[in-house]
Amino acid sequence: MRDMTQSEFNHLLGSIGALSREQMRQLRGELDSRLAAAPGEPPLTEAERADQELQRRLFEAGLLSEIKPPRRVSTGTEEFLPIPTQGEPLSETIIRERR
């Protein structure tokens, strides 16, 4: 995807004034979604976008100190590498120590 020229960007900024409040909300949601997603990740889902909007409103009201990025569910593409341990299985150690 090519970068937008400064002239095209200025035209886009000028066009924002013609948007309705609902269209501005939709545009903000789309921009927030794209900014929040790490490069190479899919855009935010509706639920993630709603959570980000709620956090933004709470932040603006002074009830949150930061807006946390959405928790992305693992797609299972990460390779699972168990950590080797010595001795008895960890689950048995936990059960024994809880008694």
The 10s digit of each residue's pLDDT in 33-45 is: 677 666 777 777 8
Written as one letter, the residue type at 10 is N
- Give me the number of domains the chain comprises: 1
20, 28, 74 from 13: Cα distances, Å: 14, 13, 36
Query: CB-based burial of residue 67 (10 Å sphere; 0-12 exposed, 13-18 middle, 19+ buried)?
Result: middle
Q: Is residue 7 part of a domain?
A: yes
The whole domain housing 46 covers 1-68
The chain-wide mean pLDDT, for the chain, equals 82
- 0.85 surpassed by pTM: no
Mean pLDDT of the 13-36 span: 83
pLDDT on residue 74? 58
Q: Is residue 51 part of a domain?
A: yes
Mean pLDDT of the 70-93 span: 76
Q: Is residue 47 part of a domain?
A: yes
Q: What does the buried/exposed string (b/e) look like for 13-26 if buried means 16 or more CB atoms within 10 Å of the residue's CB? A: eeeeeeeeeeeeee
